[in-house]
Structure formats: C-alpha cells, structure tokens
Chain A
Amino acid sequence: MSIALGLFTIFAVVAGAFFFLAGTVGLLRFPDPLTRLHALTKADNLGLGLVVIGLLPQVAWPLGAIKLIAIWLIVLFAATTVSQLMARAARDGGPPV
C-alpha cells in the first residue's frame, strides 16, 4: 500500500514541478501581458495543486492534510482574484514605469 502511495507522490510532485516549469517558460516567452497571465495562473494553480496532492499521503492524516488543503485553497482564491485585478491593471497600462 505504501509503495502505491509513494509512486502516487512521485508522479504528482513531478507533474507539479513540470507545470511550474511550463508556467515559467510561458511567462518568459509569451508576447503580451494577458497571455503571460494565462501562463502564470497555470503554474500557480496546477503546479501547486499537483504538489499539494502529491504531498497529501506523506503528512499526518487528519491535521497535516487539512493544513495542506487549506494552504492550497488560500492560494487558489488569492490567485483567481489577483489575476482578475492584474488583468485589469495590465489592460489599463498600469502606472508609468
């Protein structure tokens, strides 16, 4: 049983790390702010989400898992609202740099 959980953790964490890389490369190479925001939120939500899912079997079951999920939910809510706000800031051109 623990081998299966170990394998699950390996795959999920590796997939999460891959999405972080994909999001970062997207952030660097995409032409304009809105597409970069798209790539950024992929790295945020998918990368962190997969890492958290991968870590769930490794922590103490009731408390650690709840804390991990709470962290993930906070980042999800923060990332979505902030992405909307940043998209508006990017569309309006933002403060003079």
Chain B
Amino acid sequence: MTIPDLLLAAAVFVLATVALGMVRILRGPAAADRMMAAQLFGTGGIAALLLLGVATEANAVLDVALVLALLAAFASVAFVQGASHPDGDDSKETHSE
C-alpha cells in the first residue's frame, strides 16, 4: 500500500462524495442549492485532480486543477449575476433591501 495507491484511493473517494452531492441538484428546491452542489463539484474535481496529478507525477494535471479552480469561481459568479437581475439588464443595481 504505497503513497500513490492511497492518493488514488482518496481521489476515487472524493469523486464518490461529489457524486453523492449531485443528489442535491435533483432535490434542491432553490436554484442556490443547485449552484452549491455545482461549486462542490468544482472543488471536488480540483481535489481529485490534485491527488491524481501527484499520484502519477504528472505536473500538467496540477495546471488543469489550477484552471478548474478559476472556472469554478466564474461559474458561481455567473449564477449570482443571473440571479440578481433575472431579466439580464445589468445596468440597474440589485434592490435587495
């Protein structure tokens, strides 16, 4: 049971928990819940990529995790931007008072 085996097992475990988290997308009443599961998917993907990259000594995979980290953030911001003014009119500020 070497370290890389453990890292691969941990990566599979993290992906399994992320797959479990996808149930929230099916059941989530509000759009925000679905977006939370999507963000968990992003972070779980990053963790799995890091584990795989280090286990197989492929440094390119670490860069893939870096890009996924950026894109996951943009996905959530795009959701919030869409949620604050659903008609897509970006000019007016969000009236959340």
Q: Which residues of A contact B (CB under 8 A)?
A: 6, 9-10, 13-14, 16-17, 20-21, 23-25, 27-28, 33, 36-37, 40, 43-44, 47-48, 51-52, 55, 58-59, 64, 67-68, 70-71, 74-75, 78-79, 81-82, 85-86, 88-97
Do A74 and B66 touch across chains, with their CB atoms under 8 A apart? yes
Shortest beta-carbon distance from B67 to chain A in Å: 10
Residues of A within 8 A of B36 (CB): 27, 33, 36-37, 40, 86
Shortest beta-carbon distance from A71 to chain B in Å: 5
**Which of these, B17, B50, B69, B86, contacts A95 with CB under 8 Å?**
B86
Residues of A within 8 A of B79 (CB): 86, 89
Q: Tally B residues with Cβ within 8 Å of A.
A: 48
Do B31 and A40 touch across chains, with their CB atoms under 8 A apart? no
Do B43 and A43 touch across chains, with their CB atoms under 8 A apart? yes
Q: Which residues of B contact A (CB under 8 A)?
A: 3, 6-7, 10, 13-14, 17-18, 20-21, 23-24, 29-33, 35-37, 39-40, 43-44, 46-47, 50-51, 54, 59, 62-63, 65-66, 69-70, 72-73, 76-77, 79-80, 82-84, 86, 94, 96
